Amino acid sequence: MRRFEDHGVLITAAARGIGAATAHRLTEEGAAVLLTDADGAAVDRTAAALREQGATAHALTCDVASRTDVHAAVDRAVGLFGRLDVLVNIAASCTPDAPRFEDEPDETWQHDLDITLNGAFRCARAALPHLEASGRGAIVSVGSVNGEVSFGNHAYSAAKAGLASLTRTLADHAGPRGVRVNLVEPGTVRTSAWAGREDRLEEVRRLYPLGRVGEPEDIAAAVAFLASRDASWITGTTLRVDGGLLGVNTVFRSPREP
């Protein structure tokens, strides 16, 4: 399928993991993409790898905590493609919790919210007029099951819950302007964040009814669906992509064997 032929797409946190997989999926389906990330060298390498495969892919260093960076990224995407059809918000920060909640520093709390929630707000605010102008605009953000159930990481979880709320309220505002806004809500995904903790990842795997953790490509496929015209009557929705984690209580039964 080439559902994104002649589409210009901006993706945040696209250097690796879910962002890189999403860029790969969308370019496979014909999109031209601007990959952004705070790690400029890494996002340059990811874009270069996509170009070697024949994709139209550009890279830009962007810190979503900076309004200047965000506006520069949106302007660059419109300048490159002549339009902006899809915004994919993936950038997030997850700082380990303090041992006691009362010891949580203001700085780490604010940082996680500023990247994870406020960053998506900044990107959507800057992109919305261009998405409206495209006539087929879509925003897809990546949330987390942490936004629904307690898995720790207080600030990150609060930010992801806020992102789900922002998705609904922005969908209400943007719908009459022809822009759809949706959220993908992953469970545990095998990314570089788990490097060195493979044993823990194996333990977590046994909690999933489908018997495995997610791969970045699982989330990329969901993003592609919600961004495409196949989802043209879907907005304000949270799509769980969690291997059944929140739907089935595995704690009260024997762990699934390999």
| Positions marked active-site | 156, 160
**DSSP strand E in 112-172: where?**
138-142
How many DSSP H helices and E strands does the chain contain?
8, 7
How wide is the angle at C-alpha 26 spanned by C-alphas 64 and 236, nearest 5°? 65
What distance lies between CA 4 and its chain's CA centroid?
A: 18
CA 154 vs CA 110, 162, 207, 214, 238: distances in Å: 11, 12, 21, 22, 20
- The span from the CA of 83 to the CA of 68, in Å, is 20
Alpha-carbon distance 220 to 205, whole Å?
A: 20
